[in-house]
Amino acid sequence: MPFYLTIRTSDGKPTEVDLKAIKMPAVIGRDSEFSQIVVPDSQISRAHAKLADAEGGFSIEDLASRNGTWLNGQRISKGVFKPGDVLRIGTSQIMLEEAEAGEPGPLEGKRIGGFELQEALGKGTYGTVYRGMQIALSRPVAVKVLSEECRKDPERVQAFLTEARRAGRLNHPNLVQVHDVCQIDDQYLLIMEMMNQSAGDLLREEGPFDEDDLLKLMKDTAKALAYAESQRLVHRDVKPDNILVNDEGVYKLADLGIATPMAENGQAKQERIYGSPHYVAPEQARGSSIDGRADIYALGATAWHLSTGEPVFSGTSRQIIAAHMNEPLPDLRKLAPKLSHGAVALILSMLEKTPEKRPANAGEVSQKLEMIIMSKTRSARTVPAKRIRRRRRYRG
């Protein structure tokens, strides 16, 4: 069963950590050299507490921390951390949440305005996502409903609306489409097109992608990134969990609402560093100005992970980021021996540490993918049925 940590530091902004991506046991602390789950809080020890698998949840053990570990208001040396519990370390609060397809939601079976909310598909930082129906159009949709906790925070409401409206202005067949964002009574709704699983889900459930699947995903995502570049946007968080597939086998990039705009010089200044360590470009990790080539790097790292079953580099967050900046790549030909020479060469070019050595833009990546696909004898026009699932999972 999938679990997530929602971490709220003293600045009040929540961060979500998907525990499927964390190898257990894992250390929680402020220093990425010692911890797999990093919380930026000066009152937390470098290696503060250890999280491990346990029946019905996780065990949590204090690692002789300076300020202690508190579970549901009680100081502990070791305890059981279950969904709904509140862990406090330093000045930060950590909640454990479940996110399971089909998990009942508080509005399941109800109508809000012109939308009927059916089964809950997942729960995340902003709220719950439901499989829904837009009644007037008889159109299946995904409906994200802002949580009660978020509705009480004007800054989070504004962030939700800003990201939704930014995404709603974008229209491309390889982007997850935002149909509407609205307030109905005291509820805030984000209406999106209905999708199936993410590439990350497929990797976890079925293992590495074959080359036809991989090239189709890369081509569809490159087209989405080329469109983002045409709108002078850098996505900043391309990864397997942000690439979804629909019933027709079309891959679509999600979460473009968090993209940052490029200035007149074609560069985007980073006010804070986004991105996931396994896929982040070296210049993005350094906090330098970035452009679409940072997304090309992330797509290359995503392709590596999907084709080999393992990320490019492993270790703590700090070690992974340092490796992306400084370490040579492992031998992809040995790790994915069934990949064609053309596919390997393209992925390696996308993972060049210097942006100038990568493909100049996502359009160039798309063209190279078309050439590789055309050179193959089998068609990659559709995703094989094994990659399409009726189960739909969303995170809020």
Strand, helix or coil for residue 146: strand
Ramachandran region, residue 135 (left: φ > 0; alpha: ψ -120 to 50; beta: rest): alpha
* Consecutive H or E run containing 252: strand 251-253
Distance CA 113, CA 313 (A): 47
245 in Cβ contact with 202 (< 8 Å): yes
One DSSP character per residue, 312-375 reads: SS-SSHHHHHHHHHHSPP--HHHHSTTS-HHHHHHHHHHT-SSGGGS-SSHHHHHHHHHHHHHH
Partnered with residue 110 across adjacent β-strands are: none
Q: Is the dihedral of CA 119, 122, 126, 127 positive or negative?
A: positive
* Consecutive H or E run containing 296: helix 292-308
Cα separation of the two ends of the chain: 17
Orientation angle between helical segments 341-350 and 362-375, nearest 10 degrees = 170
**Cα–Cα–Cα angle for 295, 299, 305, rounded to 5 degrees:** 145
**237 included as an active-site residue:** yes
Distance CA 381, CA 251 (A): 12
Nearest to 278 by CA among 395, 334, 200: 200
Catalytic option among 237, 241, 255, 295: 237
List, by residue number, the catalytic residues.
Answer: 237
